[in-house]
């Protein structure tokens, strides 16, 4: 693979490119069971990305949230949006994951509109609101079947990885 190659034949900067699980795991440090995105679509460098999470009954949080009526915890929906934003930052800036880490800074105006359940496909539509130096402010919308499940604004910062 050459530098700038996603492994799918599409260059990193290609608008509209899809991002597979292998590239996600190269770009952000999260791992199962805490990796909340399975793939990403519609990449527009420094502007937007759509993360995709296929919610299954075997997610570990469903054991206790809630027995007999499983619902994805809202905080994990927000985490999935944040991971999508981190992936967008990492890919847009071509950040070295061995030397840098993207940290969640804040969440504002968070609203939950409908429960996310096993079998749902969660689409995480994340857009850059503003970017300055190593900090990015995002808006995120989590959708199930084109219906709004959650929304929030959040910020993240690129920092040196701990040694």
Catalytic residues: 65
Max CA separation in the chain (angstroms): 49
Residues sharing a CB contact under 8 Å with residue 60, sequence separation 6 or more, in sequence order: 33
């Amino acid at each position: 693979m050459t530098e700038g190659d996603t492994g799918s034949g599409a260059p990193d900067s290609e608008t509209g490119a899809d991002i597979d699980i292998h590239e996600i795991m190269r770009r952000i440090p999260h791992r199962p069971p805490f990796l909340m995105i399975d793939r990403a679509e519609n990449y527009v460098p420094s502007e937007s990305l759509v993360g995709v999470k296929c919610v299954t009954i075997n997610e570990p949080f469903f054991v206790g949230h809630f027995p007999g009526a499983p619902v994805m915890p809202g905080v994990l929906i927000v985490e999935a949006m944040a991971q999508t934003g981190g992936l967008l930052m990492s890919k847009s800036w071509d950040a070295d994951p061995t030397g840098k880490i993207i940290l969640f800074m804040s969440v504002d105006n968070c609203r939950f509109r409908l429960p996310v359940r096993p079998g749902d496909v969660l689409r995480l539509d994340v857009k850059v609101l503003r970017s300055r130096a190593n900090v990015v402010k995002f808006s995120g919308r989590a959708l199930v079947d084109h219906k709004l499940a959650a929304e929030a604004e959040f910020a993240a910062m690129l920092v040196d990885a701990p040694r």
